[in-house]
Structure 1
Amino acid sequence: MRILVVCAVPEEAQAVEAGRSLRHELDVLVCGVGPAAAAAATARTIAENSQMGRAYDVVVNAGICGAFRGKARIGDLLIATDSVAAELGVALPWGFQPIDELGFGTNRIGCNTVLTVAVEGVRGEILTLASITGSDGIAANLAHRYPDAIGEAMEGFGVATAAQQAGLPFAEIRGVSNYIGDREVEKWDWGAALKSLTTGIREI
C-alpha cells in the first residue's frame, strides 16, 4: 500500500520518518501551514504521482495539535473520526451557522477508521482552523459548537478535501502539544507531541 503522509512543518515530517514502517510504502510531504497550503500541496502531489504511474492508496495528515481540556492530555495521540472545518459557514450575531445548513456543501469529511484501527489514542472530531485559538472564550465557544471535538489544528480539512476529490481514503492523527485556549506557549510540549506522533505512525 502506498501512503502519502502530509505534514505542515519539517519537525512533524521528521517525527513521521522516525516511525516509518516497512509494512507500507510511505512518502512524506511538507505542505506548509494552513488549510489552503495543505489542500494545494496535497492535490498537486497526488496528481503528479498519479501521472507517473505511482498512484497513492491512502492520504494521512499527521502533525501536532491542541486538545480541548478534559478530552485529552498533552502528549496524547488524537485519531480523527471526522475532519471538521470549524470556520466554514456564516458568523451571525446570535451564533454560527455551518455551511451545511446553507446548502453549499459540508464542513465535515469522515476519516478512514480501518487504517487507524490499531493506533492507540483518543478518538473524535479534529477541527481545522485557519488561525490558532488563543483565548479560553473562543475555546469554550468552539467546544459548545462542536461537542464531539477533541482537538484543533490547521491542515486536516485541506488535506482531506484534496484526498476526497481524488477519490482516496483519508486519515488524520496528531500528537497533543498544548491545550486549546489562552496562549501560554511556554507550557507547550512539542517533544511529547512529536514522540506520540512517531508511535502512532509506527502502528499504521
Structure 2
Amino acid sequence: MKVLIIVATAGEAARLAGVPAHVVVSGVGAVAAALTTQQELMREPFDLVVSAGIGGAYPGSGLHPGDLALSSLMAQADLGAVDGLPGQETFLPLEELGLSVQPDQLNTGIFPAWSGSHALAERLSNAGLRVGYGPALTLSTVTGSLEVAQALAARFPGAVCEGMEGAGVAHAALRWGVPALEVRGISNPVGPRDRAAWKLGEALAATRRGVEALLGW
C-alpha cells in the first residue's frame, strides 16, 4: 500500500523520519492541508492519505497525553452559522442551512475514514496502546474553553480529538477517490489552554507508533 502522509509542521515530519511513506508538510489549517493533498495526488497515485500529527482529546474520550486517536470520520466542525441573541447563541450546521461543501452532491463537511481504521484501532489496543476511535474534528480556531469543547462533543457523539487539518486532507483525498484517515497523538485535553501542561514529546511518539502500525499492517 502506497501511503501519503500530510503533517502541518516540520517538527511533526521530523518525528516521522524514516517511515516507509511519502511525508509532506502542508502548513497549518484545512485549506493548506487540502491544497497540499491535491498537489501531491496530481503528481503521483497513492492508495491511502493520512492526516497525522498531534491534537487535543475531547471530554469523555478517555484519552490523555501520550495516547492515540484514530478517526472513524473527519468533520469540519466549525462550518455553519451562529444564530440567536447574545448569550443564547445556537450553532447551525450546514445541513440546517441547506448548504454543502460540494456542488454536485450533499456533503456537509463530514468525511468517512478509511475502512480499515477500526480494525487498526483494535490492533493497537491489543498491543497495549491506549487508543480512541471516533470522530476527529477539524476547526480553524483551537477550542479554548470547556463549554465549547462540551458543545462540540455533544454535536459529534464519541468525538475523540481536535485538529486543524484532517477534514481538509479528507476532502481533497476523497474527491480523488482515495481513502483518508486521521492519526493524532494526544498532547492535551481540549479546553482551557495550558501550554505548560502539554506533552508534545509523548504525543509525537504516539503519532509515530500509530503510523508505524498502519504501515506495518
Runs ≥4 in structure 1, deviation > 4 angstroms? Answer: none
Do the aligned partners of 1:59 and 1:171 also contact (CA within 8 Å) in 2? yes
Do the aligned partners of 2:71 and 2:117 also contact (CA within 8 Å) in 1? no
Q: CA deviation at 1:140?
A: 2.0
Three-state SS of the structure 2 residue aligned to 1:63 is strand
Q: Distance in 2 between matches of 1:200 and 1:11?
A: 17
Q: Extract unaligned runs of 5+ from structure 2.
A: 101-107, 125-130
Deviations 1:125-146 (A, max 9, x none): 0100001111222212212222
With structure 1 as the length reference, what TM-score do the two structures score? Answer: 0.90
Letter in 1 for 2:66: G
Q: 2:66 aligns with which of 65, 75, 85?
A: 75
With structure 2 as the length reference, what TM-score do the two structures score? Answer: 0.85
Between the two proteins, what is the percent identity of the paired residues? 37
Do the aligned partners of 2:138 and 2:166 also contact (CA within 8 Å) in 1? yes
Matches within 5 A, 1:154-173: 154-173=164-183
CA RMSD of aligned residues (A): 1.4
Three-state SS of the structure 1 residue aligned to 2:144 is coil
Name the counterpart of 1:88: 79
Matches within 5 A, 1:39-54: 39-49=34-44
Do the aligned partners of 1:77 and 1:176 also contact (CA within 8 Å) in 2? yes
Q: CA deviation at 1:116?
A: 6.1
Do the aligned partners of 1:60 and 1:173 also contact (CA within 8 Å) in 2? yes
Name the counterpart of 2:111: 109
Stretch moving more, 117-126 or 4-13: 117-126
Three-state SS of the structure 1 residue aligned to 2:153 is helix
Q: Distance in 2 between matches of 1:114 and 1:145?
A: 25
Q: CA deviation at 1:45?
A: 1.3
Q: CA deviation at 1:168?
A: 0.4
Do the aligned partners of 2:47 and 2:178 also contact (CA within 8 Å) in 1? yes
Do the aligned partners of 1:100 and 1:107 also contact (CA within 8 Å) in 2? no
